[in-house]
Structure 1
Amino acid sequence: MTSNSESATSADQPAPTIGPPDVIGTPLSPTATKVMVLGAGELGKEVVIAFQRLGVEVVAVDRYANAPGQQVAHHAEVIDMTDPDALLAVIDKHRPAYVVPEIEAIATAALVDVAERGIAEVIPTASAVVATMNREGIRRLADEELGLPTSPYLFADTLEELTVAARQIGFPCVVKPVMSSSGKGQSVLRGPDDVASAWETANTAGRVQGSRVIVEGFIEFDYEITLLTVRAIDPRTGVLTSHFCAPIGHRQINGDYVESWQPHEMSPDAHASATSIAARIATALGDGKLAGRGVFGVELFVKGDDVYFSEVSPRPHDTGLVTMATQRLSEFEMHARAILGLPVDVTLASPGASAVIYGQLDEPAIGFENVAAALAVPETDIRLFGKPESFHRRRMGVVTATADDVPAARERAVRAASLVSPVPGRAAVRKATVLPPPPPAPPRRPGPPPGHSAPPPGPSAAPPGAAGPPPGPIGPPPGRPVPPPGRPVPPPGPRPAPRPLGGPGGQRPIAPPGAPRPAGPPRSASPGQSPVMTSLVKTGDSADGAAPGSPVAGE
Structure 2
Amino acid sequence: MISRTCTTTACYVSSRAFFRTTQFSPQSDIDLLPAPKRGLHRAHGTILRMSEIDRPLGTPLGSRPTRILFLGSGELGKEVTIELMRLGAWVCAADSYAGAPAQQVAHESRVLDMANADALQALFDEVRPDIIVPEVEAIATEVLTGAAAHGAQVVPSAEIAGICMDRERLRVLAHEELGLPTTPYRFAGSLDELREGAPAVGYPCVVKPVMSSSGHGQSIVRGTDAIDAAWTEAQEGRRAAGEGDVSRVIVEALAPLDYELTVLTVSSSAGIAACVPIGQRQESGDYRESWQPASTPGAVLDEAQRIARAAVEGLVAKAKASGETGWGVFGVELFVLTDGSVLFNEVSPRPHDTGMVTMASQRLSEFALHARAILGLPVTEGHVALAIPCDAVAASHAIVVAGDGEAVFGDVAQALAEPGTDLRIFAKPEVHGHRRMAVALAVGTDETDARAKAGRVADALTITVD
Task: Give yes or no for TM over 0.5.
Answer: yes
**1:155-166 counterparts in 2 under 5 A?**
155-166=187-198
**1:319 paired to 2:319:** no
Give the corresponding residue for 1:25: 58
Could you tell me how far 1:342 is from its partner in structure 2? Answer: 1.4
Question: Which among 273, 296, 299 is matched to residue 269 of structure 1?
Answer: 299
Residue of structure 2 equivalent to 1:95: 128
Bigger Rg over Cα:
1
Kept in 1: contact 2:277–2:304 (CA 8 A): no
Spell out, residue by residue over 1:36-64, the C-alpha distance to the aligned partner (whole angstroms, 9 max, x if none): 11110111111111111111100101111
Counterpart selection for 2:201 from 169, 184, 188: 169
Residues 376-416 of structure 1: per-residue CA shift (max 9 Å, x gap): 23321111212223133321111111112222101111222
- 5 Å-filtered alignment, 1:129-528, equals 129-208=161-240, 210-234=246-270, 241-287=271-317, 288=320, 289-303=323-337, 304-344=339-379, 345-350=383-388, 351-361=393-403, 363-425=404-466
Paired AA for residue 417 in structure 1: A
Q: Would the alpha carbon gap of residues 210 and 394 (structure 1) be closer, same or farther in structure 2, given more than 3 Å must change?
A: farther
Are the equivalent residues in 1 in contact too, given 2:208–2:250 (CA < 8 A)?
Answer: yes
Task: Give the letter for the 1:283 counterpart.
Answer: E
Q: What SS does the aligned partner of 1:359 have? A: strand
- Inter-CA distance 176–370: structure 2 relative to 1 (3 Å threshold): farther
Aligned partner of residue 146 in structure 2, secondary structure: helix
Query: Aligned partners of 2:315 and 2:430: how far apart in 1?
Result: 34
Give the conservation status (yes or no) of the 8 Å contact 2:277–2:305: no
| TM-score (ref. length: structure 2) | 0.82
Aligned partner of residue 225 in structure 1, secondary structure: strand
2:295/2:447 contact within 8 Å kept: no
Letter matched to residue 271 of structure 1: L
Contact 1:352–1:403, Cα closer than 8 Å, also in 2 = yes
Q: 1:197 to 1:412 in 2, by over 3 A?
A: farther
Hey, what's the Cα distance between the residues in 2 that align with 1:228 and 1:217? 25
Q: Which has the higher helix share?
A: 2
CA deviation profile, 1:309-328 (whole Å, cap 9, x unmatched):
00001110111011011100
Q: RMSD of aligned C-alpha atoms?
A: 1.8
Q: Which amino acid aligns with 2:257?
A: F
Distance change >3 Å, CA 283–CA 52, structure 1 → 2: same
Distance 1:123 1:47 in 2: 12
1:119-130 aligned within 5 A: 120-130=152-162
Count of matched residue positions in the alignment of Structure 1 and Structure 2: 400
After TM superposition, give the deviation of residue 210 of structure 1 in Å: 4.5
**Partner SS for 1:51:** helix
CA contact (8 A) 1:148 1:308 kept: yes
**TM-superposition CA deviations, 1:461-490 (whole Å, max 9, x none):** xxxxxxxxxxxxxxxxxxxxxxxxxxxxxx
Between the aligned partners of 1:368 and 1:271, the Cα distance in structure 2 is: 38
Residues 395 and 243 of structure 1: CA distance in aligned 2, closer, same or farther (over 3 Å): same
Deviation, structure 1 residue 280: 1.6
Change in 2 beyond 3 A, CA 1:19/1:178: closer
| Between 216-225 and 329-338, the greater mean CA deviation after superposition | 216-225
Q: CA deviation at 1:348?
A: 0.4
Q: Deviations over 1:177-234 (max 9, x none)?
A: 2111122222222333433443333222332285222111111122210000001233
The alignment partner of 2:290 has SS state of strand
The code of the aligned residue for 1:375 comes to L
Percent of residue pairs identical: 51
* 8 Å CA contact 1:294, 1:315 repeated in 2: yes
- Please point out which of 141, 145, 149 is paired with 1:112: 145
Q: Is structure 2 residue 78 aligned with structure 1 residue 78?
A: no
Secondary structure, aligned partner of 1:91: helix
Distance of 2:300 and 2:167 partners within structure 1: 25
Tell whether 2:74 aligns with 1:44.
Answer: no
Q: What SS does the aligned partner of 1:382 have? A: strand
Seen in structure 2, the aligned counterparts of structure 1 residues 222 and 38 have a Cα distance that, compared at 3 Å, is same
Q: Distance in 2 between matches of 1:389 and 1:322?
A: 24
The 4+ residue runs of structure 1 with deviation greater than 6 A are none
> What is the TM-score with the length of structure 1 in the denominator?
0.69
Q: Alpha carbons of 1:61 and 1:169: their partners in 2 closer, same or farther (altered >3 Å)?
A: same
Larger strand fraction of residues: 2
